Structure 1
Amino acid sequence: MLGSVPAAGNWASLPDWIKKAAVEKLANESGIQLSVESAQEFPTAGKAAFLLFEQTPGENRDAIQRLTPLLQDWPAQFNLVIHSSPKGIHIYAADCFIQTVALLDKLLRLGKTAGGMG
């Protein structure tokens, strides 16, 4: 699972209470049980910070690398959660209402690229 959090910067240096709050928010938005201990920062040059949660380290690394250019361009005000399971790919974009063609294009490209995740 990959999720965005509004705290840009070095995840490792954040206070534990901020990490816990960020992971709880992602868990509430996605309905997936998550823990701070399993969160790995996934760096991008964008405005949002992304956290990666994997059951097996490296299992989706190639697919997630394909998402990097799209994640760098993701609007930070919309929390994003991408969850890959045997049942398919689920993309959650909290409070994201498609109001522009540009945002629709971002979502479509994200969905198409995420479709390659395992």
Structure 2
Amino acid sequence: MDSTAAKKLPAGLPDVLQAAHQVFINLTTDRILRIEVLTQAIHKGEDAASALIEIAQIAHKIAGVAGTLGYPEIGDNARALEQKLKADIAAGDPLRHWTTIAPEIETLLDDLEALL
């Protein structure tokens, strides 16, 4: 593990989780870029339902591991975003709350970018 990544480890993270932390950080850039592409597609009027399903899936992955690795707020925010997206998709109106969800996506992206 390089020294830059080692500096980003939350204090007190057990040795066994250090590798998982590095994988999480490595995947974060790809996840950020993918969410940005999907968000742009929504703004262009492309298939919003598919884009939001994929954003919800990414948020689910982030929520599942962020808290364990010392980022509970990011995990909580990702989980809340996932639940809102899934509720709107299940209701058959994926863009129903887009004006409030879009800023939440941007906040999550900002939080993830701060980890890099």
TM-score normalized with structure 1 length: 0.29
Name the larger-Rg structure: 2
More strand by percentage? 1
More helix by percentage? 2
